[in-house]
Amino acid sequence: MRIQRALISVSNKAGVVEFARGLAEMGVELVSTGGTAKALADAGLPVIPVEQVTGFPEMMEGRVKTLHPKVHGGILADRSKPEHMEQARAHDITPIDLVCVNLYPFAETVAKPGVTLQDAIENIDIGGPAMVRSAAKNHASVAVVVDPNDYEKVLAEMRASGGSVSEETRRQLAVKAFGHTAHYDAMIHAYLHSTYEPAEGSFPDHFTLANTRVQTLRYGENPHQRAAFYRDAGKQGPSIGTAVQRSGKELSFNNILDTNAALELVKEFEAPACAIIKHNNPCGCARAEDLVTAFQGALAGDPVSAFGGIVACNRVVDAAAAEAMTGDGTFFEVIIAPGFTEDALPILTEKKRWGRDLRLLEVPGWDGTPGKCPEHPEYDLKKVAGGLLVQERDLRRLSPDELTVVSQRAPTPEEIEQLLFAWSVVKHVKSNAIVLVRGNQVVGVGAGQMNRVGSVEIAVKQAGERARGAVMASDAFFPFPDGPEVALNAGVTAIIQPGGSKKDADTIAAVDAHGAAMVFTGVRHFRH
């Protein structure tokens, strides 16, 4: 199919003048709108303003300019049907063979601080998606280009074929075009849904995702699985999706999973903190007066498991912290932090041989403090075969006055502080989750067991002598007192758990018999 007339109307004008010039050199007639028409005319290209085609001026502040039969009739006319072409001639409609359109910058607009609902609404494109969808529907006759990266490909094919675009290329472009408008609509839906307080228990009838592929990965969880990483277009604030890689090898699927887990854990804390993740569970976490001490505490939690793990920090990594992280016996895959000082970078990347491959991720714009809980729900998604499970993210934090003392002995202020620290960590451990904490550092973790007492036994064994004087957090209630008994016999002095078991009285009695303290949260942090 030879291209004779093109309609060009783009928000992102990167490369559009060069693309239009290439079309014009092959004798293609150019029709354009507003700012795009001006850019082409300023570049000396012959261009027909769209109002000359429609016979109507752009109106209503540009809301109406291409919504006209002479535009859409030119795009949608099926060239294989004589009646379509006869009607086009009868109404003086010239066929449009190529549509080059990209849309108003909705995502960029809503990402700006202080954006208003009206700002967002004015950046909802109407005419653009209509033209893109029309051209994609009629790709048997029309080529549609929505991605500037495709400009040169289309021009090269046209030059090689005497001005034509093949059926296969038109089909590929149409698939991309429908993906482009679907993504755009999904962003709008997600934003508008987030601006309204949903009724209690209310979820949207249709759950749409607006994600953009940023990386094709070497493989997935296993080498035989293909994989890619997509960024949530609407996500703001510190996240693995907004992180920028400063150095090192390409991230793997499992790197991204574990780095996300590490970052989300360390975001819990105000004080300098460090978390080390292995296989999506924390093997160490600590907070301290400075980052070096926090890292050393996190590493001491389980130095064997920490080898080859993922490190997350909530403070900029300076030279002192870099020296600690590259000390004897250390090896890490990823370090993620709000930033890295210039003198820290050579230490991390050159001191150890593995530093050349070490992936350093910076989270721009994050000051290291916990973010406020969002005003509107954020969702956690779990894919199952044939469907999608959607729930609100578990962002619940507790204050001391929300704890209910159920033991005869109330915990000391120091124990309360340690219990709340342990409670923040256990939220990020896979069930059945048990965390032992002493001196603001994790000393034992039990995760992923089929019974809770098994998790306690693992955590106590890992802690060893450090269990004496430690506190314990459990993500869900203890169904029997046997789990707490294991911890109490090892020297644990205080326990935090949701409560709610039929056997709570037996567990409380066991705690009292050891002279320990226990508080109920009334909140569960189960991660199945």
Band of pLDDT at residue 395, cut at 50, 70 and 90? confident
Rounded to an integer, the average pLDDT of 437-466 is 94
Residue 109: which H helix or E strand, with range?
A: helix 106-110
- Name residue 213's beta-bridge partners: 230
Instruction: Name which of 77-91, 208-222, 336-350 the model is least confident about.
Output: 77-91
pLDDT at 199 over 70: no
> Strand (E) positions, 149-279?
211-217, 227-232, 244-247, 273-278
**DSSP character at residue 372:** P
Rounded to an integer, the average pLDDT of 120-134 is 84
CATH architecture for segment(s) 401-520: 3-Layer(aba) Sandwich (3.40)
SS3 at position 375: coil
∠ Cα 494 495 501 (to 5°): 145
Quickly count: other Cβ atoms within 10 Å of residue 429's Cβ: 27
Q: How high is the pLDDT of residue 426?
A: 96
Q: How high is the pLDDT of residue 38?
A: 87
Q: How high is the pLDDT of residue 93?
A: 81
Q: How high is the pLDDT of residue 84?
A: 83
Nearest CA-CA partner of 332 in 266, 267, 272, 249: 249
Rounded to an integer, the average pLDDT of 373-381 is 70
Is residue 319 a contact partner of residue 286, using CB atoms and an 8 Å limit?
no
pLDDT at 374 over 70: no
31-64 burial, b at 16+ Cβ within 10 Å, e below that, comes to bbbeebbebbeeeebebebbbebbeeebeeeeee
pLDDT at 437 over 70: yes
Q: Out of 13, 137, 176, 235, which one is annotated catalytic?
A: 137
Sorted by sequence, the CB contacts under 8 Å of residue 117 that are 6+ apart come out as 195
Q: How high is the pLDDT of residue 234?
A: 66
Of 54 and 270, the structure prediction assigns the larger pLDDT to 270
Domain with CATH 3.40.140.20 in the chain: 245-392, 401-520
Rounded to an integer, the average pLDDT of 296-320 is 96
Q: What are phi and psi of 284, to 5 degrees?
A: -165, 145
Q: How high is the pLDDT of residue 59?
A: 66
Q: How high is the pLDDT of residue 405?
A: 97
Instruction: Name which of 218-222, 304-308, 374-378 the model is least confident about.
Output: 374-378
pLDDT mean across residues, the chain = 89
pLDDT at 97 over 70: yes
- Is 372 considered catalytic here? no
Task: Using a pLDDT cut of 70, give the percent of the chain over it.
Answer: 96
Q: How high is the pLDDT of residue 197?
A: 60
Rounded to an integer, the average pLDDT of 428-440 is 94
Q: How high is the pLDDT of residue 2?
A: 85
Quick: pLDDT tens for 498-508.
Answer: 999 999 999 99
pLDDT at 487 over 90: yes
Q: How high is the pLDDT of residue 69?
A: 79
Q: How high is the pLDDT of residue 335?
A: 98
Could you say which of 3.40.50.150, 3.40.140.20, 3.40.50.300, 3.10.50.40 is the CATH number of the domain covering 245-392?
A: 3.40.140.20
Is residue 255 a contact partner of residue 240, using CB atoms and an 8 Å limit?
no
- Is 206 considered catalytic here? no
Band of pLDDT at residue 186, cut at 50, 70 and 90? confident
Band of pLDDT at residue 201, cut at 50, 70 and 90? low
Q: How high is the pLDDT of residue 375?
A: 56
Q: Out of 235, 279, 351, 503, which one is annotated catalytic?
A: 279
Quick: pLDDT tens for 252-293.
Answer: 999 999 999 999 999 999 999 999 999 999 999 999 999 999
pLDDT at 428 over 80: yes
pLDDT at 372 over 70: no
Q: How high is the pLDDT of residue 402?
A: 94
Q: How high is the pLDDT of residue 486?
A: 97
Q: What are phi and psi of 343, to 5 degrees?
A: -80, -15
Band of pLDDT at residue 62, cut at 50, 70 and 90? low
Domain with CATH 3.40.50.1380 in the chain: 5-194
Q: How high is the pLDDT of residue 484?
A: 96
Fold of the 5-194 domain: Rossmann fold (3.40.50)
Rounded to an integer, the average pLDDT of 104-113 is 76
Q: Cα(474)–Cα(480) distance, rounded to whole angstroms?
A: 13
Rounded to an integer, the average pLDDT of 67-85 is 82
Band of pLDDT at residue 198, cut at 50, 70 and 90? low
Q: How high is the pLDDT of residue 92?
A: 79
Rounded to an integer, the average pLDDT of 63-74 is 77
